[in-house]
């Protein structure tokens, strides 16, 4: 797949544009991973395209899932969340946001420690999901009290970004929809 040049903000134009995304559990345990295509890279974040039909290797469940949507995904290096925007019919259809420790990039791999709390938008309505998973994993993985507090605090900050339509919830991700083949 060729990404239109206007959507490529790469420092090194010769860099491979395939990016592996790794979600980790606390303690850096590999949880799941998938491959994407780099759309934009800055000092503070990357934006990638998740292709329709990609494989998601879910190591915790020991299964491989086929993802049947295109996604535009945002991974900040200085914020405690990620964003996956499902694109259907040329529009962002829904959002799935993880609360996590800030993403890190090493070579062509981006990883983040998923803290289980998720904030999702489906059918125009936002809601918090997986609070029970957060509580059980806080015990299972022995989250420090400061981390539990930080995750809750970051969820409130994410809600505020969404409520105020602040980047990346201000329509900024829409410009990448043109990268999806029709």
Give a yes or no: residue 159 inside a domain: yes
Give a yes or no: residue 25 inside a domain: yes
Q: pTM for this one?
A: 0.90
Split at pLDDT 50, 70, 90, the class of 181 is confident
Give a yes or no: residue 7 inside a domain: no
pLDDT in tens, 76-87: 999 999 999 999
Give a yes or no: residue 6 inside a domain: no
Whole domain around residue 167: which residue ranges?
Answer: 15-172
pLDDT in tens, 143-159: 999 999 999 999 999 99
Give the 3-state secondary structure of 95-147: EEEEEECCCEEECCEEEEEEEEEEEEEECCEEEEECHHHHHHHHHHCCCCHHH
| Counted domains in the chain | 1
């Amino acid at each position: 797949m060729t990404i239109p040049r206007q959507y490529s903000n790469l420092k090194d134009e010769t860099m491979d544009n395939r990016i592996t995304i790794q979600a980790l559990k606390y303690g850096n345990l590999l949880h799941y991973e998938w491959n994407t295509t780099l759309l934009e890279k800055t000092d503070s974040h990357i934006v990638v395209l998740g292709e329709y039909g990609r494989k998601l290797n879910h190591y915790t469940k020991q299964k491989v899932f086929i993802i049947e949507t295109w996604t535009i995904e945002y991974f900040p290096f200085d914020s405690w969340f990620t964003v996956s925007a499902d694109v259907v019919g040329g529009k962002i259809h829904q959002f799935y946001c993880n609360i996590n420790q800030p993403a890190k990039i090493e070579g062509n791999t981006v990883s983040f420690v998923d803290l289980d709390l998720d904030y999702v938008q489906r059918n125009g309505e936002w809601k918090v999901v997986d609070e029970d998973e957060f509580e059980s994993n806080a015990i299972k993985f022995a989250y420090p009290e400061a981390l539990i507090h930080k995750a809750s605090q970051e969820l409130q900050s994410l809600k505020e970004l969404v409520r105020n339509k602040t980047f990346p919830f201000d329509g900024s991700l829409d410009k990448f929809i043109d990268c999806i083949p029709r």
